[in-house]
Structure 1
Amino acid sequence: MPPTVKLSNVALHLSERDEVAIALRPLAAGTMIELDLEPGIETVTQSGSVPGAGSAAPFLVLTGDIPRSHKFALAPIAVDGRVHKYGQSIGLATAPIAAGDHVHSHNLGMDDADRAHEFGTQRTALVAPTGPVPTFLGYPRADGRVGTRNYVGILTSVNCSATAANLIADAFRGGALDEFENVDGVMALTHQSGCGLVPTSDGAQTLMRTLRGYAAHPNFGGMLVVGLGCEMVPVDALVAGHGLPADTIVSTMNIQGEGGVRATVKEGVARIRAMLPELNSRQREPAPVSELILGLNCGGSDGFSGITANPALGIASDRLVSYGGTSVLAETPEVFGAEHLLTSRAVSAAVGQQLLDRLDWWQGYAAQGGGSLDNNPSPGNKAGGLTTILEKSLGAVAKAGQADLAAVYGYAEKITDRGLVFMDTPGYDPVSVTGLIAGGATVVVFTTGRGSVFGAKPTPSIKVATNSETYNRMPDDMDLNAGRIVDGTATLDEVGTEIFEMIIRVASGEQTVSEELGVGQEEFVPWQFGTVT
């Protein structure tokens, strides 16, 4: 006799429009499921319906094994019938789907239908909780911004100076900074470019903007810029007249001028040692959370991402925005198919159109490489239950909460607006977060379903697991478990509040797990594209 279970005990049915449910745990073929839907709800498809309360509760039998976080059909779906999750289309059936079938890549494909884009029709006036505005302990900078860390950066103008920069940074590992408790570290910012680019090209300009953004970041108190001496990007061009706070201690040098790598390393170490006493004298001071710039990112997403960690982060993001802070959504390819949810919240038609223009650019960019935006999700995403880019994007935009969309920025552009804003970045995690930090993000929250070891110095990255299995399997790499939402041990609001409170603690100096492990230097990866000569 096959087991019989109630739908609400083993799966999530997210919207009355949805033809699918999401398995909370692995479910075996032959399991009989009682469809105890909410009163008045019915799941409608092209070829049938599942009535809600008001008649004898119907049953379905799973036709195959359903992995955790994957979808199964609640009713028959005809070929080319739309499949909904979150009440939105996530694709078209590519084969007949029976009630109880596993719904995934073998029977669900892209829905290319045009989406209606409205501007500003769903705006929300966020109201901050009563009481005083929360504060964090940060490093005030001369330009009025407030840092959450106090690093020394070694910025390279060209790949040729990467080895020297790494050797200089290595001199400050171990216990070299023990007597300078207010200095968080010395990090090398190396990359694979800086020469051979056409200076006026988009690629060259994007690289310059990224390097200058890091040089001026409020989490750097000191900056040593190291070049070779004959590259396209002179070292002074990265710091002189480009918005560095007046209290940033800056030094520049070229390997050719210093007499080679060994001489450069010796001199570079000496210059940083000379900076340390002054940097160590700087103290954290209370600042309102309105001075924080929060970067929102996700990686290794799964079928629970849009149900647990991402909407919980959306609650924290809204809370920050309600206090006058800034929250930045990114990863343009991963809002494709859900952009209508953002344009409807745009503060103006111009802002909404900017987002659509970037998506148009991305479709052309992907086509030039012989692909399409539906090449995403990745194999890991699909193993976690995500089938199409529509499904992934609908879950990804949940990170942005309900706030109005105030502005759209190009990659690595300096973020000056408050509220929820968008930055055009690739979906590749290190490249995306590098752009956010170059724009000024002082804290990052990174959600992950499959498990990520991400970090992003000089900005602390809080990693939130979407499910308890990943959190328990990788406890040394996760800061917070949002899987408790589907486990039934915490509510969405409770986890959102926990994320917000952790943002404040981390901004005030509490280390994240990635910082404790020393992760974050190799994740400086500027977006590289454009003509190379």
Structure 2
Amino acid sequence: MSTLTAAHAAIRLHPHDDVVIATRQLVSGTAIESERVVVAGLIPPGHKLATRAIAKGEPVKRYNQIIGVARDAIAPGQHVHVHNLSMAEFAREHAFGIDLHPTAYVAQPAHFMGIRRPAAAKNGERIATRNYIGVLTSVNCSATVARAIADHFRRDVHPEALADYPNVDGVIALTHGLGCGIDLHGEGLAILRRTLAGYAAHPNFASVLFVGLGCETNQIGGVLEAGGFGDDPKRLRSFTIQDSGGTRRTIEHGIATVREMLADANRVRREPVPASHLMVGLQCGGSDGYSGISANPALGAAVDRLVRHGGTAILSETPEIYGAEHLLTRRAVSREVGEKLLARIAWWQDYCARNGAALDNNPSAGNKVGGLTTILEKSLGAVAKGGTTNLVDVYEYAQPIDAKGFVFMDSPGYDPMSATGQVASGANLICFTTGRGSAYGCAPSPSLKLATNTALWERQQDDIDINCGGVIDGTANIDELGEAIFQMMLDCASGTRSKSELHGYGQSEFVPWQVGVIT
């Protein structure tokens, strides 16, 4: 029998927890001295082992919160996972604002090198972190044409196309599979139009070209009306395939239009702007048992810094805060804000019931392999991305965000769909934690990826921007990593390219949320 200290073998998150988390693979007979427990069976890294006898039907705690109930009696040292832990439905006290505390704003906010844009649509001055020209579509029928227009300007295929425009980050096409066969007055079309309008107004686009087929339900004029766009031909142009005379002529027309936009887009210059202009979307994907211990709280520490510097952070993925929403209502600046969050949870419960689904169908297969067992456990770790500052407002999907500080935007848990909504709401940077590994980008906003464990970092450095595994290894702490992530945010916002940008990710990951009936 080998003996390991808890610091090396397992991590205890709270004195009242019933489980600890293995920092490496533990074999039967290993004694974890400070827990006074001997491992019984094989415990994979990131997974849970019981530190006391747990009776069948008894609740099990991690983070000092209930993550499920025991299916069977569990002995000290045994593996706690899907075979002996199940989802628990229980009443949660939704207190409002009892954990509020004043935000300690810094006297001299940090700066990044941003791009100032004039007011557009209903927005005031906007600050960009990137400088793209966008080709957007009103309907799937115009997707091929839009991609052909953007592909003409690909630097990796036609380096000469943008040779005279070094300040332009690229021309990108964001296409989707929606836009027709949808109720003209329904929620689905309203969300799609809100999303497209948010992208059209996004500061990371110097200008936008909208391409439609012509006869679709989602008329371009309806998108522009939803976004409150005025007549600004320099910044926004639109036409349809039917009016342009077919595919070839539309592509030629689109290429010529983008060429007219390039000179103006190239005139931008970066200048120092306060960090208050940074709006960061918070994402997690491919989560594991370490997510709520390392990368998520480290990102939360960076978010606390961002908020103290006057910036905005957006937590989303409503199904992945289910079971932890009571921790957010405690931080709500008012009962009204807290009730708005609970209203979104109620909407999801009704939505799932109407469609024969359940909110506890999470975690995914990969999450479970990584050590997560129930949605309660996953959600409790996911909310750590939001740091500790007050929850100042709650928004619907792709709704323009006008608040400063920590906010919530309703979205599905599917990462591309969630991040698409955050960018439509105004996020000019995305931070994405992962434990199993992720290859993801989110043009026009850059995406930084954070590894929860060193093994992933060593295996997939091509895709990951920073390793948070030092928290597990004992070589780093949350506060140090929070500072490093905050500085990386500023650097990336200033133009330093993320790993996903270097690989060209971002165009295929545009996925608006589809909720409406397709007929």
Interval of TM-score (by shorter of Structure 1 and Structure 2): over 0.9
Q: Is the contact between residue 22 and residue 70 of structure 1 (CA under 8 Å) also seen in structure 2? A: yes
**1:210-245 deviation digits (Å, cap 9, x = unpaired):** 111110111101100001111112223323572459
Match of 2:246 in 1: 260
Match of 2:12 in 1: 13
Q: Shift of the alpha carbon at 1:299?
A: 0.3
- Taking the aligned partners of 2:3 and 2:388, their CA distance within structure 1 comes to 38
The residue type equivalent to 1:102 in the other structure is: H
2:128 corresponds to which of 124, 140, 147: 147
The residue type equivalent to 1:461 in the other structure is: S
Match of 1:283 in 2: 269
- Taking the aligned partners of 1:187 and 1:280, their CA distance within structure 2 comes to 15
- Taking the aligned partners of 2:297 and 2:164, their CA distance within structure 1 comes to 42
Q: Is the contact between residue 484 and residue 490 of structure 1 (CA under 8 Å) also seen in structure 2? A: yes
Q: Shift of the alpha carbon at 1:145?
A: 1.2
**1:295-318 deviation digits (Å, cap 9, x = unpaired):** 011000000000000001111111
Match of 2:122 in 1: none
- 1:311 to 2:329 alignment: no
The residue type equivalent to 2:145 in the other structure is: A
Deviates more, 1:12-21 or 1:121-130: 121-130
Q: How many residues align structurally?
A: 509
Q: Shift of the alpha carbon at 1:284?
A: 1.1
- 1:68 to 2:75 alignment: no
- Taking the aligned partners of 1:8 and 1:281, their CA distance within structure 2 comes to 54
1:225 corresponds to which of 210, 230, 233: 210
- 1:296 to 2:282 alignment: yes
- 1:108 to 2:101 alignment: no
Q: Is the contact between residue 117 and residue 128 of structure 2 (CA under 8 Å) also seen in structure 1? A: yes
2:95 corresponds to which of 118, 122, 126: 118
Q: Shift of the alpha carbon at 1:154?
A: 0.5
- Taking the aligned partners of 1:80 and 1:180, their CA distance within structure 2 comes to 65
Match of 2:194 in 1: 209
Q: Is the contact between residue 109 and residue 310 of structure 2 (CA under 8 Å) also seen in structure 1? A: no
Match of 1:329 in 2: 315
- Taking the aligned partners of 1:479 and 1:336, their CA distance within structure 2 comes to 28
Match of 1:435 in 2: 421
- 1:516 to 2:502 alignment: yes
Q: Is the contact between residue 303 and residue 313 of structure 2 (CA under 8 Å) also seen in structure 1? A: yes
The residue type equivalent to 2:461 in the other structure is: P
- Taking the aligned partners of 1:293 and 1:84, their CA distance within structure 2 comes to 34
- 1:476 to 2:457 alignment: no
**1:266-314 deviation digits (Å, cap 9, x = unpaired):** 1100110111111101111211000111101100000000000000111
Where in structure 1 are there 5+ consecutive unaligned residues?
38-58
Match of 1:53 in 2: none
**1:125-151 deviation digits (Å, cap 9, x = unpaired):** 221345x21111111111211011111
Match of 2:30 in 1: 31
- Taking the aligned partners of 1:124 and 1:331, their CA distance within structure 2 comes to 25
Give the RMSD, CA atoms, in angstroms: 1.3
Where in structure 2 are there 5+ consecutive unaligned residues?
120-124
Q: Is the contact between residue 223 and residue 250 of structure 1 (CA under 8 Å) also seen in structure 2? A: yes
The within-5 A match list for 1:166-177 is: 166-173=147-154, 174=156, 175=159, 176-177=161-162
The within-5 A match list for 1:317-356 is: 317-356=303-342
Q: Is the contact between residue 236 and residue 252 of structure 1 (CA under 8 Å) also seen in structure 2? A: no
**1:149-181 deviation digits (Å, cap 9, x = unpaired):** 111110101111000001001101121223211
3-state SS in 2 of match to 1:96: coil
- Taking the aligned partners of 2:153 and 2:222, their CA distance within structure 1 comes to 26
The within-5 A match list for 1:348-427 is: 348-427=334-413
Q: Shift of the alpha carbon at 1:418?
A: 0.9
Q: Is the contact between residue 146 and residue 218 of structure 1 (CA under 8 Å) also seen in structure 2? A: yes
Q: Is the contact between residue 124 and residue 402 of structure 1 (CA under 8 Å) also seen in structure 2? A: no
Q: Is the contact between residue 110 and residue 274 of structure 2 (CA under 8 Å) also seen in structure 1? A: yes
**1:354-377 deviation digits (Å, cap 9, x = unpaired):** 111111111121222322111100
Q: Shift of the alpha carbon at 1:247?
A: 9.0
1:92 corresponds to which of 69, 89, 93: 69
Q: Shift of the alpha carbon at 1:530?
A: 1.2
Match of 1:49 in 2: none
Q: Quickly say closer, same or farther: Cα 1:202–1:213, change in 2 above 3 A.
A: same
Match of 2:113 in 1: 137
The residue type equivalent to 1:137 in the other structure is: M
Q: Quickly say closer, same or farther: Cα 1:240–1:277, change in 2 above 3 A.
A: farther
Match of 1:198 in 2: 183
Q: Quickly say closer, same or farther: Cα 1:247–1:419, change in 2 above 3 A.
A: farther
Match of 1:4 in 2: 3
- Taking the aligned partners of 2:355 and 2:227, their CA distance within structure 1 comes to 34
Deviates more, 1:246-255 or 1:332-341: 246-255
Match of 2:480 in 1: 494
**TM-score scaled to structure 2, two decimals?**
0.96
- Taking the aligned partners of 1:495 and 1:32, their CA distance within structure 2 comes to 31
Q: Is the contact between residue 220 and residue 248 of structure 1 (CA under 8 Å) also seen in structure 2? A: no
The residue type equivalent to 2:437 in the other structure is: G
3-state SS in 2 of match to 1:197: coil
Q: Percent identity, aligned pairs only?
A: 52
- Taking the aligned partners of 1:102 and 1:7, their CA distance within structure 2 comes to 16
The residue type equivalent to 2:219 in the other structure is: P
Match of 1:55 in 2: none
Q: Shift of the alpha carbon at 1:8?
A: 2.5
Q: Is the contact between residue 132 and residue 204 of structure 2 (CA under 8 Å) also seen in structure 1? A: yes
- Taking the aligned partners of 1:354 and 1:94, their CA distance within structure 2 comes to 35
Match of 1:83 in 2: 60
Q: Shift of the alpha carbon at 1:184?
A: 0.7
Deviates more, 1:235-244 or 1:386-395: 235-244
3-state SS in 2 of match to 1:341: helix
**1:46-93 deviation digits (Å, cap 9, x = unpaired):** xxxxxxxxxxxxx32211100000000011000111111111111111
Q: Quickly say closer, same or farther: Cα 1:178–1:368, change in 2 above 3 A.
A: same
The residue type equivalent to 2:333 in the other structure is: V
- Taking the aligned partners of 1:349 and 1:247, their CA distance within structure 2 comes to 44
The residue type equivalent to 1:163 in the other structure is: T
The residue type equivalent to 1:471 in the other structure is: W
- Taking the aligned partners of 2:225 and 2:51, their CA distance within structure 1 comes to 62
3-state SS in 1 of match to 2:60: strand
2:444 corresponds to which of 458, 463, 466: 458
Q: Is the contact between residue 216 and residue 243 of structure 1 (CA under 8 Å) also seen in structure 2? A: no
- Taking the aligned partners of 1:243 and 1:418, their CA distance within structure 2 comes to 22
Q: Is the contact between residue 133 and residue 171 of structure 2 (CA under 8 Å) also seen in structure 1? A: yes
- 1:164 to 2:145 alignment: yes
- Taking the aligned partners of 1:61 and 1:304, their CA distance within structure 2 comes to 22
